[in-house]
């Protein structure tokens, strides 16, 4: 199975690039399954139902999120009825929406996708992400109820991301870090066969501060006095993510490589595609 994960869409330029280019990527690379993190798609803060539907319409199979999922209140309305929209599974009981699901890939494979959020430097009051991962995998084991399994681990601390990946190594196909918006160079397959990267990066304007127009963030570092709101940068977007080939026999990763397309960053695509 061939899977593409695209990192956080940031603002109009990020979501437009994803929505315009994704159909061609699916066709050119013969992708079986696509996951997109969409938590920053609406002006850099949250996501709307219209953006969600457009992303699904472009070919995404699932849209994951993170700590900004409710920044646009529209998400509270559509999350309970959209099966392909995920918020972190370790949010408190009763939170709208769902944190995981099993979806059918284009090749007929059953794919478990779980969205889990870290606690270090973020929200320590959340449920333990390791226990949340254990619950998800116990309910839908790889090789039994799922032919492949992916975890979007939305977290700040690299150590927490890496330890979670080692915790589930051999039990999921891919653990992909999101949240920091910066693509890392540590893509690898762990000893047990789980593909891993600390952060997939973002789909947005890299002439920015994490996808935001750089003037206001820079001003706050220099003066500590806000002059205005953070606004999403609107220059040309670069798509960032990872491509993974997953064994149809074991559900574990066979290959992983970064995917980057657009200005500023060096372009790359999985050579095995």
Q: Please write the tens of the pLDDT for every residue from 19-74.
A: 999 999 999 999 999 999 999 999 999 999 999 999 999 999 999 999 999 999 99
A 10 A CB-CB count for 260 gives: 18
What is the pLDDT, as a whole number, of residue 11? 97
Helix (H) or strand (E) holding 132: helix 129-139
DSSP 128: P
- Which residues, in sequence order, are CB contacts of 145 under 8 Å at separation 6+? 102, 110, 112, 139
What is the pLDDT, as a whole number, of residue 264? 93
User: Among residues 203, 198, 204, 178, which one has the least CA distance to residue 186?
Assistant: 198
DSSP 79: G
What is the pLDDT, as a whole number, of residue 169? 98
Catalytic residue among 68, 154, 179, 187: 68
Active site residue 181: no
253-261/33-37 β-pairing: unpaired
Q: pLDDT 10s per residue in the chain (273 long)?
A: 999 999 999 999 999 999 999 999 999 999 999 999 999 999 999 999 999 999 999 999 999 999 999 999 999 999 999 999 999 999 999 999 999 999 999 999 999 999 999 999 999 999 999 999 999 999 999 999 999 999 999 999 999 999 999 999 999 999 999 999 999 999 999 999 999 999 999 999 999 999 999 999 999 999 999 999 999 999 999 999 999 999 999 999 999 999 999 999 999 999 999
Reduced to 3 states, what is the DSSP secondary structure of residue 93? coil
User: Among residues 146, 111, 148, which one has the least CA distance to residue 252?
Assistant: 148
Mean pLDDT of all residues in the chain? 97
- Which residues, in sequence order, are CB contacts of 144 under 8 Å at separation 6+? none
What is the pLDDT, as a whole number, of residue 51? 98
pLDDT tens figures, 34-47: 999 999 999 999 99
User: Among residues 68, 114, 109, 56, which one has the least CA distance to residue 90?
Assistant: 114
């Amino acid at each position: 199975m061939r899977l593409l994960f695209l990192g956080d869409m940031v603002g109009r330029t990020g979501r437009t690039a994803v929505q315009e280019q994704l159909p061609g990527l699916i066709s050119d690379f013969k992708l079986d399954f696509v996951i997109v993190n969409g938590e920053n798609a609406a002006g850099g803060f949250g996501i709307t139902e219209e953006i969600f539907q457009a992303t699904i319409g472009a070919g995404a199979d699932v849209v994951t999120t993170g700590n900004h999922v409710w920044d646009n209140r529209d998400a509270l309305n559509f999350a309970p009825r959209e099966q392909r929209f995920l918020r972190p599974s370790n949010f408190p009981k009763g939170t709208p929406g769902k944190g995981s699901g099993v979806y059918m890939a284009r090749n007929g494979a059953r794919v478990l996708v779980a969205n889990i959020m870290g606690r270090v430097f973020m929200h320590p009051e959340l449920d333990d992400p390791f226990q949340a991962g254990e619950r998800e995998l116990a309910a839908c084991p790889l090789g039994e109820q799922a032919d492949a399994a992916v975890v979007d681990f939305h977290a700040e601390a690299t150590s927490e991301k890496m330890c979670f990946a080692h915790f589930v190594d051999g039990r999921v196909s891919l653990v992909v870090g999101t949240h920091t918006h910066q693509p890392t160079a540590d893509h690898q397959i762990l000893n047990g066969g789980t593909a891993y990267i600390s952060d997939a990066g973002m789909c947005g304007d890299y002439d920015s501060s994490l996808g935001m127009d750089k003037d206001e963030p820079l001003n706050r570092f220099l003066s500590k006095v806000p002059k205005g709101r953070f606004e999403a940068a609107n220059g040309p977007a670069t798509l960032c993510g990872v491509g993974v080939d997953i064994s149809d026999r074991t559900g574990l990763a066979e290959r992983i490589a970064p995917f980057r397309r657009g200005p500023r960053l060096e372009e790359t695509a999985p050579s095995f595609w």
